[in-house]
Amino acid sequence: MSFYLWLAAGSAAGGFINGLAGFGTALFALGFWLQILSPIEAVSMVVIMSVVSGLQGVALVRQSIRENPIRLSRFVVPGLVGIPLGTKLLAIVSPLTIKMTVAIFLIAYGGFILLRRDLPRLARQRPMIDGLAGFVGGILGGAASLSGVVPTMWCALQPWSKSEQRAVLQPFNVLILAIAAAVFAVSGYYSWQSIPLILIALPITLVSAQVGIWAFKRLSDDQFRRLLVTLMFVSGLIIVAKEVLLV
């Protein structure tokens, strides 16, 4: 019974945060699932949950996506280029080094921004940096399943509405992680034993994502921006805590 409680808790936490913010399924679900599953099983399952629950968020902001598809493409196209580079990076740098570097940066960045009374906001668009953020996101997605980190940090500084920010983050993460899921499937990470667990986790994730979407709709644009920064700070703490506990 405790096994299924951990499984359900991770599904609910990951689904809710994805519905609320458009990212973070892995960071919040893995804290529960790594207690009962091997790292490969947990990560391969969480990628599927991220994609499926993320599709609901994509539908939520489909109008904003249609209004500015070029802005989304500035993130997605470089992100796709970055994925194979991220997988090659693993042959040079250990996953622990990558994750801890990202975590320290998240904590420093999120903590600094949160200490300010007013969140900084850029006055004009910078397409080149959009592409760079997507490219680095693709690298981190291929190297450590952290595709949303850099795009989220960059989007939180933009003078965009919450729907416009999510219209970039949600489809970007869904696409990058869908490719990761396909790679996992080809690599044989999914077994007959994992299918029943996925079927149990999936409905809990979907329902929890709907609760998160309900909460998202009630946030103002400024509240959503502050939520993103807060989650980045918390995500950094979670990454450090996981690695310390695993050691």
Give the up-direction half-sphere exposure of residue 195: CA atoms within 13 A in the CB hemisphere: 4
In the predicted model, is pLDDT for residue 184 greater than 60? yes
CA 225 to chain centre: 15
DSSP character string of 24-49? -HHHHHHHHHTTTS-HHHHHHHHHHH
Dist. CA 92–CA 140, nearest whole Å: 14
pTM of the model: 0.82
Element (H, E) at 117: none
What whole-number percentage of the chain has pLDDT above 90?
30
Nearest to 224 by CA among 176, 182, 146, 170: 170
Give residue 135's pLDDT. Answer: 95
Closest CA to 121 of 93, 150, 77, 161: 161
pLDDT at 247 over 60: no
Does the pLDDT at position 1 exceed 80? no
Mean pLDDT score, 135-152:
83
pLDDT digits 0-9 by tens, 55-103 = 988 988 899 999 999 999 999 999 999 988 887 776 687 767 877 887 8
Which residues, other chains included, contact 98 with Cβ-Cβ below 8 Å and sequence gap of 6+?
A: 89, 140, 143, 144, 146
Q: How many CA atoms lie within 13 A of 6 on its CB side?
A: 12
Q: Where are the beta strands (DSSP E) in 189-240?
A: none
